[in-house]
Amino acid sequence: MSVRRADTLGGKAAIVGIGATEFSKDSGRSELKLAVEAVRAALDDAGLTPADVDGLVTFTMDTSPEITVAQAAGIGELSFFSRIHYGGGAACATVQQAALAVASGIADVVVCYRAFNERSGRRFGSGVQRREPTAEGAALGWNLPYGLLTPASWVAMAAQRYLHAYGRGPEDFGHVAVLDRRHAARNPAAYFYGKPITLADHAASRWIVEPLRLLDCCQETDGGQALVVTSVERARDLPRPPAVVVAAAQGAGRSQEQMTSFYRDGLTGLPETAVVARQLWRSSGLTPADIDVGILYDHFTPFVLMQLEEFGFCGPGEAGDFVAADALPLNTHGGQLGEAYLHGMNGIAEAVRQIRGTSVNQVAGAARSLVTAGTGVPTSGLLLGADG
């Protein structure tokens, strides 16, 4: 996992089970119950039982600790438990940590999970409220007095600069929103099932923070998602086709802050994503031309464009046209704008479905999926592939 050389993790672990609750705006139950439902669903999908599990990984922002989930789900002794920081940037890193544990023999079966009442409970989109003093908070404090109070406002700074630097217009962002909602409209699990939008709908949606409109911003969701990771060898004896972890990476860039990295040399890219991209391509030996489907973290539409450019699918300022041309199947579940906002964990599940051949928007012959995690923060990424 060094930023300077390839690693040897690829091919040693696989995702063998996926499970989720329904995605709603008011779950009517605790976050712990959501987590347990998702974990049990993922184990059922994998053909495993709670007794098989000896590792759990989640996010630091999760209110359901590993040992509590283990107890509530009927899981026994644990030899590995871990949490990843930085909100949605943690998504793919949960699988990376699970794969590391499996590859090193620290655990045999590791479940990664994320569950929250992000609409009916704590709404992350509401910004900074009652935050305890931390070093991260001090960095945010330089921006709050100027009205930069919410994630949308932090992203708007980079989005405005991107449009100015490349002479582009907000319709570039609209292409992402339209594509996600088109896929969500065909996905019965998506909150916006049956509700596609047009570029005109995007342009008519109300301003949140210029240049971001309502339809540039992901939704808020109650729900849970879990993934089961084990060795490739064990995976071959289980009922579902495995999604092999071809490569996994984390990345933080120079002058990195949490969403407010405004003092870098430029604001038109995502240096943390560039770190992840270099590691994934170097460790896997793959290139953008080898990818069949991309599941890109879409909390805000501009950062989808920047991710495509950092990964080398197109040149700087060209991603709007790339998306408009459907040059790569993207966010076939509907993304966080269309399906659900589960800090990217539902995106990993969609990448697994593509490898299995079971997506409602299946890409014919999909054998390699790229998945990214939250951007603007220290982030992570995965390359998943079919076995053999």
Coil vs helix vs strand at 229: strand
Using CA atoms, how far apart are residues 195 and 197, in angstroms rounded to an integer? 7
Structure-token pair, residue 67? 């040992």
| Nearest CA among 334, 308, 330 for reference residue 319 | 308
Using CA atoms, how far apart are residues 273 and 82, in angstroms rounded to an integer? 23
Q: CB neighbours (10 Å) of residue 315?
A: 12
Residue with tokens 């976050």: 31
| Nearest CA among 324, 287, 21 for reference residue 179 | 324
Using CA atoms, how far apart are residues 380 and 375, in angstroms rounded to an integer? 9
CA 242 vs. chain centroid, Å, equals 19
> Of 86, 113, 166, 341, which is the active-site residue?
341
166 catalytic? Reply is no
> Of 86, 113, 166, 297, which is the active-site residue?
297
Coil vs helix vs strand at 295: strand
Quick one: three-class SS letters along 34-100?
HHHHHHHHHHHHHCCCHHHCCEEEEECCCCCCHHHHHHHHCCCCCCEEEEECCHHHHHHHHHHHHHH
Residue with tokens 């871990």: 82
297 catalytic? Reply is yes
Count the alpha carbons within 13 Å of 207 in the hemisphere toward its beta carbon: 5
Structure-token pair, residue 100? 């590391």
- Known catalytic residues are 297, 341
